[in-house]
Amino acid sequence: KAGVTQTPRYLIKTRGQQVTLSCSPISGHRSVSWYQQTPGQGLQFLFEYFSETQRNKGNFPGRFSGRQFSNSRSEMNVSTLELGDSALYLCASSLVKGEGEQYFGPGTRLTVT
Amino acid sequence: GENVEQHPSTLSVQEGDSAVIKCTYSDSASNYFPWYKQELGKRPQLIIDIRSNVGEKKDQRIAVTLNKTAKHFSLHITETQPEDSAVYFCAGNGANNLFFGTGTRLTVIP
């Protein structure tokens, strides 16, 4: 079974621009969660989608948004990029919402200059 | 929401010694506590998990204990090996999502 994939793997943007990241979950997984990983801050929860609905949202500004399509693929968007948005963005998929193993993708390394 | 605290942030042990990482959580409704290992440049991977109806779980050299009353859980690695060197994250599933600790960088010195 193919694992979780994320595109692009690397991205360089300038302040003020917007960016869209994509995540394809494992086939059959309907829950997709997004995390921001920065040194010293660990994995911070952004939001979680289940069956095309955002179920939960972490403590991030409204510049961070996402969506999920009927095939469970998910995208996250960051508008008006700031230098502090530079991070590794990881998505994870799971069969069951809220518990059970989450399978992580390789991440998208976003650098904002 | 759930708040998971993890200690220590860094840990160095001699090969063959044991390592212990501790986490506390705030949401008494949390009932699932996984541990993830992230090697340098790689994605986090689940190494062991425990549910709230169990006090301890073991898998070869790795064990996790849970104290629901005190709201803390710990990862124990025995007979550490250099390949155990990585960042370890604990998590709790408050509000039906995983909330992670800030990670522990474990270094096993050969």
Q: Are B90 and B6 in contact (CB under 8 A)?
A: yes
CA–CA separation, B33 and A38 (whole Å):
22
pLDDT band (50, 70, 90) for residue B26? very high
> What is the number of other CB atoms lying within 10 angstroms of the CB of residue B47?
18
Q: Is B92 on the interface with A (CB under 8 A)?
A: no
Contacts of A66 in chain B (CB under 8 A): none
User: What pLDDT does residue A99 have?
Assistant: 67
Q: Cα distance from B17 to chain A (closest Cα, Å)?
A: 26
Q: Per-residue pLDDT averaged across B3-32, rounded?
A: 95
Among A43-47, B88-92, B95-99, the range scoring the smallest mean pLDDT is B95-99
DSSP A71-82: TS-EEEEE-S--
pLDDT band (50, 70, 90) for residue B11? very high
Q: Cα distance from B5 to chain A (closest Cα, Å)?
A: 11
User: What pLDDT does residue B84 have?
Assistant: 98
Put simply, the answer to whether B102 touches A90 (Cβ < 8 Å) is no
- Has residue B74 got a pLDDT over 90? yes
* Residue of chain B nearest A6, judged by CA positions: B43
Put simply, the answer to whether B100 touches A42 (Cβ < 8 Å) is yes
Q: Are B52 and B69 in contact (CB under 8 A)?
A: no
pLDDT band (50, 70, 90) for residue B94? confident
- Has residue A2 got a pLDDT over 70? yes
A4: phi then psi, degrees, rounded to nearest 5: -75, 135
Contacts of B89 in chain A (CB under 8 A): 42-43
Query: Across all residues in chain A, what is the average pLDDT?
Result: 93
User: What pLDDT does residue A70 have?
Assistant: 95
Query: Is B59 exposed, middle or buried (CB count within 10 Å of its CB: 0-12, 13-18, 19+)?
Result: exposed
From the list B34, B89, B102, the residue facing A40 with the nearest CB is B102
Q: Is B32 on the interface with A (CB under 8 A)?
A: yes
Q: Cα distance from A40 to chain B (closest Cα, Å)?
A: 7
- Has residue B1 got a pLDDT over 80? no
Q: Per-residue pLDDT averaged across A68-74, rounded?
A: 96
User: What pLDDT does residue A56 have?
Assistant: 86
Closest alpha carbon to B99 in B37, B24, B18 = B24
DSSP B27-94: -TT--EEEEEEE-TTS--EEEEEEETT-SEEEETTEEEEEETTTTEEEEEE-S--GGG-EEEEEEE-G
- Has residue B68 got a pLDDT over 90? yes
- Strands A19-24 and A5-7, sheet pairing: antiparallel
User: What pLDDT does residue A41 have?
Assistant: 75
CA–CA separation, B88 and B46 (whole Å):
10
Q: In a mutagenesis test of the A interface, which of B36, B43, B88, B90 is the best target, namely the one with the most A β-carbons within 10 Å? A: B43
pLDDT band (50, 70, 90) for residue A42? confident
Put simply, the answer to whether B102 touches A41 (Cβ < 8 Å) is yes
Contacts of A39 in chain B (CB under 8 A): none
Question: Any residues with CB less than 8 A from the CB of A109 and at least 6 apart, and which?
Answer: A9, A10, A11, A88
Q: Per-residue pLDDT averaged across A1-29, rounded?
A: 95
User: What pLDDT does residue B53 have?
Assistant: 86
First to last CA, chain B: 41
CA–CA separation, B86 and B71 (whole Å):
25
